[in-house]
Amino acid sequence: MRISLLQQNPVVGDLRGNEQKIIRGIKKACKENPDLIVTSELALLGYPPRDLLLQKKFIEKSWQIAENIAAECRAAPPVLLGLAQRNESDVGRPLFNVAALVNNGEVNYCFRKTLLPTYDVFDEDRYFEPAHDAQILHLQNQSIGISICEDIWNDRDFWNRRRYQTDPIEDMAAQGADLIINISASPFTVGKQQIREKMLGSIASKYHIPLVYVNQVGGNDDLIFDGRSCVFDSSGSLIARAKSFQEDILTSDLSSTESNRISPADFTPESEIWRALVLGTRDYVHKTGFTSVLLGLSGGIDSALVAAIATEALGKDHVLGILMPSPYSSTGSIDDASALVANLGIQSKTLPITPIMDAYDMLLRQEFARYSKDLTEENLQARIRGTLLMALSNKFGSLLLTPGNKSEVSVGYCTLYGDMCGAIGVISDVPKSMVYRIARWLNDQNQREMIPQPILTKVPSAELRSCQTDQDTLPPYDLLDEILYHHVELHESPEEIVARGYPKMTTFQALHMVKVAEFKRRQAAPGFKVTDRAFGTGWRMPIAAKEWYID
């Protein structure tokens, strides 16, 4: 059997655009004479459609378009098309998440998803009713188990703790499936593809049946999808893999592995995160209707890396860097920002904020007369810059990028309505130590200084007062990032982290800062998810809550 996998980049809600993309993919795949063509999960709707699924007319229109696809591709081999099906029963959730069989000009049958994730960024139980039996397609004397994304992530022999009581793949194998197909929209996190391939190979080997996995690619809101659709033979060996972080059509011959293609995949963390953020930035900008971006350039590492990502994603002519020096800005920082602009070839403008600071000081002098200077004046500087950036964004019609990293967002080392202004937090899920690693990797890959060397070596500083450094307020970033990793991603308490050997006062201080910064993060721009635990749709912490570990 020859199977073509359509690894495509849909736009959520763009039913007509996705229709044409799918039709083009089907027609292109037909040139390779497949017996079956397969799209990714909810490919017609775009993933994740979230509460668009609650719009009845949206679902109705998607089925009209599915019928159009069937008519347009009448001469094509059977197609498994990802979309949502209405639950006609008066019991249960309103929809099923399905792979619809499109054949002979009609939508013939729907294979339903069984396991509905409700953890992290997923909330499928909100919309979908689960299947309750094995979903088997009979085609060309083959019994093919049809599974959808989460259905394949519950193998009892691979995971130490299974999330669900049932295993659809086990049920399909018990019913004599000769092949397993899984259509997915599985979001990227660094290192996840290696786990995917190990798991998928293990399942194929366990049941001695080939396994086909097709994944979505592209960025939708805070989620990025890496593609890398793949095929495993009955021994569990990888026999085909599609491209990484780009659209592809992968046709695999299950009976003759010599003709299969295994596209290379660089699993280096710096490389994976860089490519994910470039793809996410490009898609977020274009899918929201923008063609250009701007950002403030401080001469620091964060804005430098974000500028480099934007330049790679959109091209140098579509990126504008804004320098906004104050009396506390060092000559070195201004020079470093200017050097970055030259290295990347982007446009820049300089707007000194000293006159605006003076105007604020004059206006507030009487009100502040009995108070000494503190964070208020520092935050005013950040908010002046934020106001200027938003003004330019409005006037130029350019999307504003937010440069804060995960370490600083975690502990609230950022100013609400100041440097937190913007439409997307490009590196808000990238710890500070990884920001440096990616910047050095980028320079090595290009064999030249994309990020100026002084930016990589100088002591980090917000430069909001004289002789300021980040470590006046924060622990050293390497230490902070380790503590945050154990707390944010591994859900460990202060006591558990201290038991690992981390300083007690530093640990409790850092976790207190995480807690009290929750109100800031709730108002922050969305940010691209690249780790297992991001401050996005999967983070659901209360604001008005006590630190339970403090008696």
Q: Are residues 260 and 287 in the same domain?
A: no
- The total of structural domains in the chain comes to 2
Whether 483 is in a domain gets the answer: no
Any catalytic annotation for residue 41?
A: yes
Query: Is 45 among the domain residues?
Result: yes
Catalytic hit among 19, 41, 272, 463: 41
Residue with structure tokens 């690619």?
217
113 catalytic residue (yes or no): yes
Using the 3D structure, point to which of 448, 469, 490 is the last residue of a domain: 469
Q: Same structural domain for residues 247 and 118? A: yes
Which domain, by its residues, includes 90? 2-267
With a threshold of 0.85, does the pTM exceed it? yes
Catalytic position from the list 73, 110, 149, 414: 149
Residue 494 falls within a domain, yes or no? no
Average pLDDT of each block of 10 consecutive residues along the chain (551 residues)? 96 97 98 96 97 97 97 96 95 96 94 96 95 93 96 94 94 96 98 97 97 98 97 96 97 84 95 98 98 96 97 98 92 93 97 95 94 91 96 98 96 94 97 97 94 92 74 88 95 95 95 94 96 93 88 71
Q: What is the pLDDT of residue 117?
A: 96
Query: Is position 149 annotated as part of the catalytic site?
Result: yes
In a domain, 457, yes or no: yes
Q: What is the DSSP string of 115-126?
A: ----STT--GGG
Mark whether 234 and 285 lie in a shared domain. Answer: no
Of these residues, 19, 21, 73, 113, which one is catalytic? 113
Quote the pLDDT of residue 330: 86
Domain co-membership, 259 together with 306: no
Position 432 in a domain: yes
Q: What phi, psi does 16 have (nearest 5°)?
A: -70, -45
- The SS3 of residue 222 is coil
The pLDDT score that the predictor gives to residue 500 is: 97
Domain co-membership, 256 together with 282? no
Q: Answer whether 520's CB lies under 8 Å from 416's CB.
A: yes
Q: Tell me, yes or no, whether 263 and 357 share the same domain.
A: no
Same domain, 182 and 128: yes
pLDDT of 75 reads 94
Is there a single domain that holds both residue 251 and residue 299? no
CATH number, domain with residue 193: 3.60.110.10
Residues 75 and 170 in one domain: yes
Q: Is there a contact between 527 and 536 (Cβ–Cβ < 8 Å)?
A: yes
Domain boundary among the residues 439, 469, 499 is at 469
Question: Do residue 33 and residue 140 come from a single domain?
Answer: yes
- What is the CATH classification number for the domain harbouring 443? 3.40.50.620
Is 484 part of a structural domain of the chain? no
Per-residue pLDDT, 466: 76
Do 330 and 361 have their domain in common?
yes
Number of Cβ within a 10 Å radius of residue 389: 24
Residue 252 resides in a domain: yes
Tell me: do 228 and 247 sit in the same domain: yes
8 A C-beta contact, residue 217 and residue 226: yes
Tokens in use for 30? 């037909």
Q: CB of 523 within 8 A of CB of 181?
A: no
Last residue of a domain, one of 469, 491, 522: 469
Is 234 a member of any domain?
yes
325-347 residues labelled b (16+ CB within 10 A) or e (exposed):
bbebbeeebbebbbbbbebbebe
Distance between CA 88 and CA 412 in Å, rounded?
48
